[in-house]
Every structure is written in structure tokens, then in C-alpha cells.
Chain A
Amino acid sequence: MPIIPDTPENLNSPENPDTPDTPSWILNLEDIEKDFVFHHQQGTIMTVFNGFSHAFYPGKATILSGPSGSGKSTLLRMIYGTYKTESGHIRVRHQGREVDVAGASPALIYALRRDTIGYVSQFLRVVPRVSALDTVIEPLLARGVPQNEAAGAGRTLLERLHIPSTMWHLSATTFSGGEQQRINLARGFIAPYPILLLDEPTASLDLKNRETVIQLITEALKNNTCIIGVFHDPADHRSFADQVIDLSTHRCQETLPS
């Protein structure tokens, strides 16, 4: 797979124009804008995106790079619908139709998150008293997969991520950072999604588990998942990345009210 260097030349130039000959995009960002207004800090306005556009294709992996604060996680959260989009469109092909995450109704966001967009956050949000296995299989149950079938898939995945079976029925509250991250990854990879967002999924993992994650990513790409990820260590993504977007070139200024 070609490795594209992190240069601004690669930006905003989708190699697959939306023509009948090439696969059409699964996710298309059009002129998106994002500001954060801090009402209790003298009304400071922070503009993170000011007219960013990019198309993403099935089976391709895109790495977001740039220094911290350049909007990598913000972009993932906007695509997932957690951060509201000021203006522009986040178009997604969802179950055969084109929808827009920007301004989507809660009903549509629920459906998108269940069937189309997966997201592995930087940290697992642990729910007390819910076992690691139940945490992992929740996305499958939400799609109506029977409990025993989902549990089987969950056990296989936890084994691959080297979580000892003695821990499967414990709540992840007391797990180490690396263990929690693996539970989070298992939860993200258990159900196939057309789009998978990864926010530093390998940050607190050892080499062995990192390799497993790279394998999981490669398998997902073969299944035509579009992967968009932020990776702490650039060495991690050399093996599978199709393109790198350097967000520092899109960085906008902080505006203080006059």
C-alpha cells in the first residue's frame, strides 16, 4: 500500500473523484466550520475549522496528523455528532441514502451510531457494575444480535487483545489504562461499521497489543470500512495508511473579542 508523506500537497485532493468509474465516497465533509465560544472566559472564541472540505472512501485509511490542539479529535467528534457543526455539511452514506450529520435529528444520530459510524475514544467511559464482556458486546446487542452469539464474538475479541478470561466478568472500573483501552477497542471493533473513527487507540498499549490493533484495522479495511484515525506514534500507521491529512495547515487563529 502506498505511503503518502505528511505534506500539505496531499490535502484536499481526493484521488478518487466521485465518478461512476471509481467507488463513491462514504463520508464527505463540505466547508465545515467549528468555533468554540467560552462564555465564562471573557467570551473567547476559538475557531478550529473554517471551511474544511474532504471526501473519504470505503476501504481506505486516513490518518489525521498535526500538533495537539490542531483539531484532530474535534474532527472525529464532529463526524460522530458529539460536537455540533456551525456551518457546512458532514454527508454520510447511511443504509443506501445520503444524510447530513450537521443538523441531524437525535433519531438519525442514534441510527448512524448504531449502524454506520463506530468511534473508539481515547479513554473508556467505564460504567460501574457492567462487566468488561457486557461493555464489549453492547453494540452487537443494540443491533439485535442474540446474547450468546454476541458473547461468543466478544470472548474471541477479548482473547485476541490478550485480556485474561478471569477479567471478562469484572467491571472495567478497576482495570489499568491499557486494559481499559483494549476493552474500548474491542467494543469499537466488535460490530462492523462502514466508518470507524479511532482516537489514539494505541496510545497506552504494549507492542504485542499494538500489533493486534493493526491487524484489526487491516481486517476492517478489507471489509471495506473507511477508517479515520489519530495515532500517537507515526510508526503505527505506516503499514496501512492510504493518506495523511495534516490539520496544522488548516489551523485557524484564536480570536479575542475587542
Chain B
Amino acid sequence: MTSAPDLSPPPLLKVAHLCKFFGRHMGCHDISFEVCPGEVIGVVGESGSGKSTLLNCIAGRLRPSNGSVCFKTPDGMEDLCRCDEARMRRIIRTRTGYVTQHAAQGLKMHISAGGNIGEKLMAAGTRHYGKIRDAALMWLDKVEIDPGRIDDLPSTFSGGMQQRLQIAANLVTAPEILLMDEPTSGLDVSVQARLIDVLRKLVFSLNLSMILVTHDLAVARLLCHRLYVMKQGEVVESGLSDQILDDPRKPYTQLLVSSVLKP
């Protein structure tokens, strides 16, 4: 991604020495990084490399075994690993959005598209029905879904539309960081291009930060400012996207980059 974020404000998120063990199995080990406003971070690596484990620890869905996950809040930097459950849920709800690979897990398929967007707003305290509906219409438009489909069920949407609806439902409460787990996989390429385009525009217009877990290096190059390459639970290499993809240093990164088929 070429338009660069301004990194002078303090980071929104600081992950330090994060570890997650599943019994004796290591999910991820000693991972540290920061995310600044407007910055898109890609986490790449093959299946089982610990990418999703890392994302789930940041999203409060997994309790890290060690280390810290600090979010910038109005009360300063707060560590998810050192606050109570209620506080943690509040930080996650207000600071982050989470887009899953399978829209069915991120959306309520039995309520309307507008309902999916409005639900998040109601959870955040909005009660005025007219305002909720207006926000839903505006967000459908922003993610390029015909606002006329506001009362349709997500199950009648295509895969790409469901993914865009998921993004709208997450962004309606204006979180600062959007966490995404393989949002483009399983979509055919034209649909994928549209999703990427929508995401690029949102990042630019909202100065949104994202952490994107993907195994697709082309998607990573288009969307991410910086990349972290993971293998067996550890970060093996990190840097600007073009540094990682054009001048990979570590054996694993070279293997990953050289294995991509170029159409």
C-alpha cells in the first residue's frame, strides 16, 4: 500500500513478548509489535504458523500465556492481560472490530443486513431506531452494498457481499483497529478485488488501522504497509511490505515468496 500513514501519534496497540501455549504445544512465541493510526499490518505464513492464534490473543478471544496486549484507551494504555473480564470485553468492543474468514461466524444469518449493523450500535448504547437505520443505510453504501437490500437476510447475499456486510457491521461503532482473519480467502478474484478496494478506501478515509492475517502475498502487498512473516509460532522476519516481498532475507521468507505463482 502506497499512501503512508502518519506515525507521529502514539501507537494504538502495543503487543509485547506475547506467548500462547496450548498445553505443551506452542501457538505463538515472544511476539512484539506496535500498530499506529492508519497503519495496516499483515501477518503472513502458512497454515498452522500461529497467525490466527496471534490475532485471537489480540482480539481477546484467547488468553495469552505470557506477555502483554496493550490498547490505547481514554484512560491510557491498558493491558488486556492485566484487567478483569468485564474491562477486557469493554476495551475489545470499543477499540476493535473482528472480521472472520467465514461470514457465517461473524454475522447473524437469521436477522436482516440492517439488523446485523444495527445490533452493534444498540450494544454500544444507541436507542433511536431512525438513527440506527440511517447508520445502517450509510454503511451499506460505504461497503458498496445496494442500500435497498437493508431488509434482506445475509444468507441471500453472495460471499463477497457477506464479507463486506461483516466489515460494515464492525465499523459502524467506529473502532480504531480492524482485525481480519483471512477475509479474502474463499472469494473468487473479482470479488476479492472489490473487497480489497473497499478496504483500501476505508483505511484512507477513516485513517483506520488493520491487522490482516492472510496467506495471500498479493493481497498483503496491495493492502499492508508492513508485514510479519510467521513460522512455527515465531516471527521470522518483519519489515515494510516491499522489503519483505522484494528483498526477503530469511530462508523461510525466500521460500514463501518464491513459491507464489505469478499469473
Contact = CB atoms under 8 A, between A and B. Distances in A.
A114 interface: yes
A127 B243 CA distance: 19
Nearest to B222: A127
Interface string B41-59: 0000000000000000000
B124 interface: no
Contact of B225 (A84, A106, A129): A106
Contacts of A84: 239, 243, 247, 249
Interface in B4-35: 4-8
B231 interface: no
Contacts of B6: 110
Contact of B240 (A36, A81, A114): A81
Contacts of A130: 197, 200
A94 B193 CA distance: 35
B255 A40 contact: yes
B7 A82 contact: no
B112 to A, nearest CB: 28
Contact of A83 (B8, B221, B247, B258): B247
A40 B247 contact: no
Interface residues of A, number: 26
A128 B197 contact: yes
B222 A40 contact: no
A37 B2 contact: no
Contacts of A106: 7, 225-226, 239-240
A77 interface: yes
Interface string A109-142: 1110110000000000101111000000011011
Contact of A40 (B7, B221, B258): B258
A107 B197 contact: no
A114 B4 contact: yes
B121 interface: no
Given A110-B7, A128-B197, A81 B222 contact: no
A168 B175 CA distance: 34
B194 interface: yes
A129 B3 contact: no
B254 A83 contact: no
Given A38-B254, A40-B251, A106-B240, A82 B246 contact: yes
Given A81-B240, A106-B226, 4 more contacts: A39-B255, A40-B254, A110-B225, A129-B194
Interface of A: 36-40, 77, 81-84, 106-107, 109-111, 113-114, 125, 127-130, 138-139, 141-142
13 contacts: A40-B258, A82-B247, A111-B4, A114-B3, A125-B221, A127-B197, A128-B193, A128-B196, A129-B194, A129-B197, A138-B2, A138-B3, A139-B3
